[in-house]
């Protein structure tokens, strides 16, 4: 059951349409990522859900409460929707405890205990008296999350919350925020243009393009069964090759491959993911040559040039854990069903 439902939301600025009928469903307690390129309308969607912008059309519902719709616009402070802004934006003159307690009524009973609970949730117990300037970027971001959770919002919105963090810190803060959100039971929407962040952090991903959600599903669904070639390209690494479907088989220069799902016969493009390209002994596969290797530590991306039947050269990419020097000759086999459009 969805807790947050966005239906057909439109928004124009000076007659320029920015949101063009957005649908979004976020189940209760889930963390959803809204993923899309810069300028597709992600922040505007977040601002409409928070109530900072009025939608031109459509509805926003949380539970059975209509927050925005024809003739209705609930004020932001009455929505029980909290926002974690891009760089945390802590009050520099308030301590960590002062920041977290900011959204709580002064007379709130158990105020100190609530602050302590929240700091424990984000792994910062004992930091009550520190000032924001004495915290790392990741710690600041976690305090910002605790502050947003303090008034017990029903929905929490995070706008590119990790973009200011350096790459090393980002993965660990992401994991901390994800587990704190799950522990809090909050329903959350995270906006990002980083596909790896969306796939690794969220329970559901909504891919946005030109003011619309073009596909929504679990990270696995989005990666394995993209709705169109642009989603395939945007989410994960992909090699796109011309392909013809006949009787449920995808015919490509790399050979005949099984089709993922069903499709009528026709001419189009197939999507190959790097993990579908397997290195085998030279005699057991198509001959290929290593063009370059990009090393990431846990594995490496290898660019290959495959010599296909008819002497056609086809660039593909695979992942390996071993070292492959440039110009090395290898064999390649393509496995698994491929998506075709
Ligand atoms: P980014 O990832 O770069 O933050 P985004 O997907 O969040 O991008 P938005 O910030 O929602 O995109 O902006 C979408 C479009 O709406 C942009 O073309 C932007 O210039 C325009 N826009 C946003 N806010 C306003 C505004 N207040 N007035 C006029 N145009 C606006």
Q: What is the DSSP letter of 282?
A: G
Is pLDDT of 311 > 90? Answer: no
pLDDT for the residue numbered 208: 97
Could you read off the pLDDT of 180-226 as tens digits, one per residue? 899 889 999 999 999 999 999 999 999 999 999 999 999 999 998 89
Q: Are 146 and 118 in contact (CB under 8 A)?
A: yes
Give the residue carrying structure tokens 């922040």.
43
Q: Are 139 and 123 in contact (CB under 8 A)?
A: no
Could you read off the pLDDT of 212-222 as tens digits, one per residue? 999 999 999 99
From ligand 1's centre to the CA of 40, what distance in Å?
A: 7
Pocket of ligand 1 (CB under 6 A): 13, 18, 36, 38-44, 193
Among 166, 218, 208, 164, which residue's Cα sits nearest to residue 31? 218
From ligand 1's centre to the CA of 86, what distance in Å?
A: 14
- Which residues have C-beta within 8 Å of that of residue 118, sequence separation ≥ 6? 100, 146, 149, 150
From ligand 1's centre to the CA of 3, what distance in Å?
A: 26
Residue of the CA atom closest to atom 28 of ligand 1:
13
From ligand 1's centre to the CA of 276, what distance in Å?
A: 37
> Which ranges in the chain belong to alpha helices (H)?
42-50, 96-101, 111-121, 137-149, 167-184, 195-201, 219-224, 229-234
**Torsion sign over Cα 230, 234, 235, 237:** positive
Among 66, 88, 62, 95, which residue's Cα sits nearest to residue 148? 88
Domain 2-231: which CATH class? alpha beta
Give the residue carrying structure tokens 């491959």.
257
pLDDT for the residue numbered 108: 66
What is the chain's alpha carbon radius of gyration, rounded to the nearest angstrom? Answer: 24
Q: Which of 16, 41, 209 to mutate to test the pocket of ligand 1 (most atoms within 8 A of CB)?
A: 41
Domain 238-340: which CATH class? mainly beta
pLDDT for the residue numbered 69: 95
Report d(CA 20, CA 287) in Å as an integer: 48
Report d(CA 94, CA 67) in Å as an integer: 32
SS3 call for 317: strand
Domain layout of the chain by residue ranges: 2-231, 238-340
Q: Which ligand 1 atom is at minimum distance from the Cα of 45?
A: 11
- For residue 158, give the H/E element and its range: strand 155-159
Q: 334: how many CB neighbours lie within 10 A of its CB?
A: 21
**Torsion sign over Cα 7, 60, 207, 1:** negative
Report d(CA 85, CA 118) in Å as an integer: 18
From ligand 1's centre to the CA of 45, what distance in Å?
A: 10
Could you read off the pLDDT of 92-114 as tens digits, one per residue? 999 999 999 998 877 767 888 88
Tell me the pLDDT band of 1, cut-offs 50, 70 and 90: confident
From ligand 1's centre to the CA of 32, what distance in Å?
A: 20
Residue of the CA atom closest to atom 3 of ligand 1:
38
Q: Which ligand 1 atom is at minimum distance from the Cα of 46?
A: 11
From ligand 1's centre to the CA of 56, what distance in Å?
A: 15
Q: Which of 15, 43, 190, 211 to mutate to test the pocket of ligand 1 (most atoms within 8 A of CB)?
A: 43
Residue of the CA atom closest to atom 25 of ligand 1:
13
Q: Are 64 and 236 in contact (CB under 8 A)?
A: no
ipTM: 0.96
User: What's the whole-model pTM score?
Assistant: 0.88
Q: Which of 35, 39, 50, 54 to mutate to test the pocket of ligand 1 (most atoms within 8 A of CB)?
A: 39
pLDDT for the residue numbered 65: 96
Report d(CA 126, CA 140) in Å as an integer: 14
Could you read off the pLDDT of 269-302 as tens digits, one per residue? 999 999 999 999 988 999 999 999 988 888 889 9
Q: Are 22 and 11 in contact (CB under 8 A)?
A: no
2-231 and 238-340, same CATH topology: no
């Amino acid at each position: 059951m969805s807790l947050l439902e966005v239906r057909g939301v439109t928004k124009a600025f000076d007659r320029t349409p920015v949101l063009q009928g957005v649908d979004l469903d976020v189940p209760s307690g889930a963390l959803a990522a809204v993923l899309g390129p810069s300028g597709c309308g992600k922040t505007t969607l977040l601002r409409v859900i928070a109530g900072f912008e009025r939608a031109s059309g459509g509805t926003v519902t949380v539970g059975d409460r209509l927050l925005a719709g024809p003739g209705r616009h609930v004020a932001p402070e009455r929505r029980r929707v909290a926002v974690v802004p891009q760089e945390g934006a802590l009050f520099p003159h308030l301590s960590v405890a002062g920041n977290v307690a900011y959204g709580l009524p002064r007379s709130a009973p158990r105020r100190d205990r609530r602050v302590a609970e929240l700091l424990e949730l984000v792994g910062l117990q004992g930091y009550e008296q520190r000032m924001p300037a004495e915290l790392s970027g990741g710690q600041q971001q976690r305090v910002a999350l605790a502050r947003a959770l303090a008034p017990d919002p029903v929905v929490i919105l995070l706008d590119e919350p990790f973009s200011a963090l350096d790459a090393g810190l980002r993965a660990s803060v992401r994991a901390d925020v994800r587990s704190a959100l799950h522990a809090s039971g909050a329903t959350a929407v995270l906006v990002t243009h980083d596909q790896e962040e969306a796939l690794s952090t969220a329970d559901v991903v909504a891919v946005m393009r030109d003011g619309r959600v073009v596909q929504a599903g679990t990270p696995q669904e989005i990666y394995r069964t993209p709705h169109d070639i642009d989603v395939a390209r945007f989410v994960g690494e992909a090699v796109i090759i011309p392909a013809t479907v006949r009787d449920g088989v995808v015919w490509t220069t790399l050979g005949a491959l099984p089709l993922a799902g069903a499709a009528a016969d026709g001419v189009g493009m197939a999507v190959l993911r790097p993990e579908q390209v397997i290195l085998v002994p030279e005699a057991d596969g198509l001959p290929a040559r290593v063009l370059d290797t990009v090393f990431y530590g846990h594995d490496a991306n290898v660019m290959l040039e495959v010599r296909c039947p008819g002497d056609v050269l086809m660039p593909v990419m695979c992942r390996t854990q071993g070292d492959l020097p440039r110009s090395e000759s290898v064999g390649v086999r393509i496995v698994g069903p491929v998506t075709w459009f």
